[in-house]
Amino acid sequence: MLTDQQILRIPGPTPIPPSAERAMSQPMTGHRGKNTSELISRIRPGLKRVFGTQQEVMILTGSGTAGLEMAVVNTVAPGEEVLVIVTGAFGDRFAKICKAYGIETHIFEEEWGKAADPVEVQRYLQEHPEITVVFSTFCETSTGVLNPIKQLASAVKEVSDALIIVDGVSCVAGTETEMDAWGVDIVVTGSQKAFMLPPGLAFIAASKRAWKKIEANPQPRFYLDLKKHLDNIVKDTTPFTPAISILYGLERVLELFEEEGLEKVYTRHRLMMKMTRAAFKAWEIPLLANDEDASPTVTAVKPADFEAEEFRKVMKEEFALELAGGQQHLAKEIFRIGHMGYCSPADMLQAIAAMEIGLVKVGKKVEVGKGIQAAQQVYLNEGKVLA
Amino acid sequence: MLTDQQILRIPGPTPIPPSAERAMSQPMTGHRGKNTSELISRIRPGLKRVFGTQQEVMILTGSGTAGLEMAVVNTVAPGEEVLVIVTGAFGDRFAKICKAYGIETHIFEEEWGKAADPVEVQRYLQEHPEITVVFSTFCETSTGVLNPIKQLASAVKEVSDALIIVDGVSCVAGTETEMDAWGVDIVVTGSQKAFMLPPGLAFIAASKRAWKKIEANPQPRFYLDLKKHLDNIVKDTTPFTPAISILYGLERVLELFEEEGLEKVYTRHRLMMKMTRAAFKAWEIPLLANDEDASPTVTAVKPADFEAEEFRKVMKEEFALELAGGQQHLAKEIFRIGHMGYCSPADMLQAIAAMEIGLVKVGKKVEVGKGIQAAQQVYLNEGKVLA
């Protein structure tokens, strides 16, 4: 087969736009020089638009998990009690970070593959008024579920003053995020998902309410000290050496978002989700999440009559097309398709037509053409929304 | 729609493999230094394998047309008569070059969309024993026809001592080329087709028989003087400054051919051709060439009930997928799909699924899913040849 081709359809990292690749390959520059501060000044407004906030969006050099830990150590004071909404492996990660700091951590766990119910979360908070911070994932990457953050934030606010902290790693920039309007206190995301960049940067913003708590919080921190980052970003710099190449890529990606239009970016992601789901429905292969809970950026599939791992292997061998497996107890039970970032409806036509062949190869009885046809029909019915 | 995506499905240039892009972006080096001569020494054996020749393959910095002109000026002495087999725009180009030099040029023209018949060419030569050189295109890019060079060369040799000169620009490295075994005297090709590199280099090899004629030929030439190139290439250099970056890309591409296996490269091209043709047959849209004459690298389509240009426009607007139009009298009558170079069966699944949507958009009555299904079936039936 054609070597040197990789069709990356995992839920991040995603392929990188050629112009972002080019931007990242420009000569290295000093991180305390004018070049870098001008670069950061150009980046700041675009990041705010993606987050839907008037607040500063800080740029942390680290992976998404560093961003999650940053959210924890800056907001939770020793002795406080927090609630973590767990709908999958990344909700679980929030809980693990809290526990690592000895924080008394309430877990509100939903069956993996379902979104958290704001009413039930609200009830839990009413029963536990001592909770000061609520953590939730936005898109749960491990299950392809999009938690209803707007409704969750609203439900929390009705009964509690707890801060609302959101892990938006695998969906911010791929789905509407209105941090200010929804009353979310902290949003964290990373560079390698819908931002279509290499891993290496995390982005994090805090509400005015959060900043009060952060500034009063005695929890020790240094590299992850949000206030240090805030004091620097307003001066177009970072407290510690940033991943400069990725910053150049970020500038370009933010331009691409503007060129396409952020609303269209979100619509494109939703269309790719619908195409993917339509195909699996046509093949009568169970999707892990139902339509209401489905994420526009990643789809998890739970096959009943073939091996997920075998299917992934075939896709890699036949088409160099990489799909993700499951995590934790869903490992080997599911596979996941990323449709985010640098990914178009044409790319999903490719992935779906190829997966249909892969299904035949693993012995799944499918009528060849039926799944891709369903996806094509979704595009024909709804593709004009991208125009 | 997703900006910064271009799906290039024209018959060259083709997309460039990422590792070739990286190879081409290494620091510039002096063309008379050790780096470049070592590079050329690594390239030479691989080029010979692709050409199927023990002779040297010269590297000319120029486009394919420069290579064609090189073939003409080196082999045809003033006063000689030549035969040009014209099956499309590039056969016509050979004729134009000959005429520009005042060469008495016989034209053997076949209806565009058909391959030349060796028997008829043989008959023509028998009637015109004064002909000293026969020019033919291998793949006629403008029509998607592959002329039967092996049979043509054999037929010519039976009745004539004329040199056999072949324009292999749009198929060498995408289809079996056995210059020595077939008794072809000169093969010319370019870097931007099945070699999957940017335009800028032409490759040309000559048989022992051709070298005798070349060395005796008084036709004035300087930059295009093949003997100068031969004297240099055997010393791992070029007579004039070469396009060094593309040479680095060429080294990488030749490695990729070895990794995949040249036979598999050819099989992949043939499979992509079959997938493409199966789709158009399922859609009942006429192909310009019949199955026997079809090229593994490019397919020309002659729609009867929709506008080729309108279809190309829709494909560009909807999917950023670029198809080629027709040339000369076939302009606006046909469109052409490149399936060569850095292009995989998965890429053809994408192009075909997207074209199916494009056909609906231009009002062609097609059953959605039928064409892509036919292509998928070809892959399922024959794809194992790539394993």
**Does residue B197 sit in the same domain as residue B313?**
no
Q: Which residue of A has its CA nearest to B350?
A: A350
Q: Check if the beta carbon of residue B106 is closer than 8 Å to that of residue B136.
A: no
The CATH number covering residue B129 comes to: 3.40.640.10
Phi, psi of A187 (to 5 degrees): -120, 135
Is the same domain home to B227 and B283?
A: no
Examine the domain organization and report whether A113 and A139 are in the same domain. Answer: yes
- Smallest CA–CA distance, residue B257 to chain A, in Å, is 9
**Cβ–Cβ of A349/B346 closer than 8 Å?**
no
* Cβ separation B372–A380 shorter than 8 A: no
CA-based nearest distance B250→chain A, Å: 14
A19·B7 Cβ contact <8 A: no
Please say which residue of B235, B258, B281 terminates a domain. B258
**How many other CB atoms sit within 10 Å of the CB of residue B109?**
14
Of the partner residues B3, B4, B349, the one whose CB lies closest to the CB of residue A354: B349
* Contact yes or no for B345 and A319 at CB 8 A: yes
A309 burial (CB, 10 Å; 0-12 / 13-18 / 19+) is middle
Chain A residues with CB under 8 Å of B257 CB are: none
Minimal CA separation from A41 to chain B, in Å: 24
Looking at B195, B227, B258, the residue that finishes a domain is B258
On whether both B247 and B277 belong to a single domain, the answer is no
Tokens for A218, please give them: 């005695």
Please provide the average confidence, as pLDDT, over all residues in chain A.
97
If one counts every other C-beta atom within 10 angstroms of the C-beta of residue B302, the result is 18
Q: Are residues B247 and B301 in the same domain?
A: no
Report residue A261 as tokens: 């239009």
Query: Are B354 and A346 within 8 A, CB to CB?
Result: yes
Q: Any idea what the Cα angle at residue B56 is, between residues B257 and B118, rounded to 5°? A: 80
Q: What is the mean pLDDT of residues A141-170?
A: 98
Q: How high is the ipTM of this complex? A: 0.92
pLDDT of residue A276: 98
Name the packing angle between helices B64-75 and B226-233 (round to 10°): 110
A248: CB partners within 8 A, 6+ apart? A23, A24, A26, A39
- With beta carbons under 8 A apart, name residues in chain B contacting A361: 380
Provide the number of CB pairs (under 8 Å) joining chain A to chain B: 134
Contacts of A343 in chain B (CB under 8 A): 2
| Cβ proximity of A358 and A29 under 8 Å | no
CA distances from A175 to A44, A50, A170, B285 (A): 19, 9, 10, 40
Provide the residue-wise pLDDT of chain B in tens; the chain has 387 residues. 899 999 999 999 999 999 999 999 999 999 999 999 999 999 999 999 999 999 999 999 999 999 999 999 999 999 999 999 999 999 999 999 999 999 999 999 999 999 999 999 999 999 999 999 999 999 999 999 999 999 999 999 999 999 999 999 999 999 999 999 999 999 999 999 999 999 999 999 999 999 999 999 999 999 999 999 999 999 999 999 999 999 999 999 999 999 999 999 999 999 999 999 999 999 999 999 999 999 999 999 999 999 999 999 999 999 999 999 999 999 999 999 999 999 999 999 999 999 999 999 999 999 999 999 999 999 999 978 787
Whether A282 is covered by a domain: the verdict is yes
Is residue A133 a contact partner of residue A157, using CB atoms and an 8 Å limit? no
Nearest to B2 among A344, A352, A370 (CB): A344
Total count of domains within chain B: 2
Q: Does residue B154 fall inside a structural domain? A: yes
Helix (H) or strand (E) holding A109: strand A104-109
Contacts of A363 in chain B (CB under 8 A): none
- Identify which of A187, A190, A200, A193 has the alpha carbon closest to the alpha carbon of residue A244: A200
Beta strands B321-322 and B335-338, pairing class: unpaired
* Domain edge (last residue) among B203, B232, B258: B258
Q: What's the CATH code of the domain at B297?
A: 3.90.1150.10
pLDDT in tens, A226-269: 999 999 999 999 999 999 999 999 999 999 999 999 999 999 99
H or E element that contains A134: strand A131-137
Q: Where are the alpha helices (DSSP H) in chain A?
A: 18-24, 34-51, 64-75, 89-100, 118-127, 149-159, 179-182, 208-216, 226-233, 244-260, 262-282, 308-319, 345-361, 370-382
Residues of B in contact with A7 (CB under 8 A): 346
DSSP A55: S
Residue B49 Cα, gap to closest chain A Cα (Å) = 18
A338 and A245 together in one domain? no
Give the side-chain half-sphere CA count within 13 A for B237. 13
Task: Report if residue B75 sits inside a domain.
Answer: yes
Pair (A266, A236) in one structural domain:
no
Indicate whether B1 belongs to any domain.
no
Decide if A346 and B350 are in contact by the 8 Å CB cutoff.
Answer: yes
B383 touches chain A (CB under 8 A): yes
Which of B259, B349, B383 has its CB closest to that of A3? Answer: B259
Task: Please check whether residues B243 and B190 belong to one and the same domain.
Answer: yes
* The amino acid at B273: M
Judge whether B93 is annotated as a binding position.
Answer: no
Task: Judge whether A368 is closer than 8 Å to chain B, CB to CB.
Answer: yes
Tokens of B161: 């001592």
Residues A268 and A231 in one domain: no
Per 3-state DSSP, what percentage of chain A is helix, strand, and coil (rounded to 5)? 45, 15, 35
Interface of A with B in 179-208 (CB under 8 A): none
Nearest to A150 by CA among A121, A118, A125: A118
Q: Identify whether residues B124 and B80 lie together within a single domain.
A: yes
Kindly report the three-state secondary structure assignment for every residue of chain B: CCCCCCEECCCCCCCCCHHHHHHHCCCCCCCCCHHHHHHHHHHHHHHHHHHCCCCCEEEEECCHHHHHHHHHHHHCCCCCEEEEEECCHHHHHHHHHHHHCCCEEEEEECCCCCCCCHHHHHHHHHHCCCEEEEEEECEECCCCEECCHHHHHHHHHHHCCCEEEEECCCCECCECCCHHHHCCCEEEEECCCCCCCCCCEEEEEECHHHHHHHHHCCCCCCCCCHHHHHHHHCCCCCCCCCCHHHHHHHHHHHHHHHHHCHHHHHHHHHHHHHHHHHHHHHCCCCECCCHHHECCCEEEECCCCCCHHHHHHHHHHHHCEECEECCHHHCCCCEEEECCCCCCHHHHHHHHHHHHHHHHHCCCCCCCCHHHHHHHHHHHHHHHHHC
CB contact under 8 A, B320 and A344: yes
A354 at the B interface (CB within 8 A)?
yes
Q: Which residues of B touch A354 (CB under 8 A)?
A: 346, 349
Residue A349 lies in a domain: yes
Tell me whether residue A2 is in a domain: no
CA–CA min distance A221, chain B (Å): 40
Query: Is the residue at B2 inside a domain?
Result: no
- Kindly list the distances between the CA atom of residue A93 and the CA atoms of A73, A189, A200, B216, in Å, as whole numbers in the listed order: 14, 14, 18, 79
* Paired sense of beta strands A81-86 and A131-137, if any: parallel
Count CA within 13 A, CB hemisphere, residue A43: 27
**Min CA distance, B370 vs chain A (Å)?**
7
Distance (Å, whole) CA B4 – CA B22: 19
A134-143, A353-362, B22-31: the lowest-pLDDT one: B22-31
3-state secondary structure of A360: helix
A342 touches chain B (CB under 8 A): yes
Spatial neighbors of A320 by CB under 8 A, at least 6 apart, are A1, A2, A5, A6, A7, B344, B346
The boundaries of the domain holding residue A37 are 18-258
Whether A387 shows a pLDDT value over 80: the answer reads no
3-state secondary structure of A84: strand
Residues 25-84 of chain A whose Cβ lies under 8 A from any Cβ of chain B: 25
Asked if residue A293 is part of any domain, the answer here is yes
Q: A253 and A265 in one domain?
A: no
Query: Is the pLDDT at A160 greater than 90, yes or no?
Result: yes
Residue A47 clears pLDDT 90, i.e. is over it: yes
Question: Do A301 and A358 fall within a single domain?
Answer: yes
Which of A182, A173, A175, A183 lies closest to A203, judged by CA?
Answer: A173
What's the number of CA atoms in the CB half-sphere (13 Å) around residue B101? 26
Record: contact A342-B2, CB cut-off 8 A: yes
Q: Does B362 touch chain A (CB under 8 A)?
A: no
Q: Given CB atoms, is B314 within the 8 Å cutoff of chain A?
A: no
Residue of B251, B74, B65, B75 lying closest to B170 (CA atoms): B65
Backbone dihedral angles phi then psi of residue A27, each to the nearest 5 degrees: -55, 145
Whether B344 sits inside 8 A of A256 (CB atoms) is no
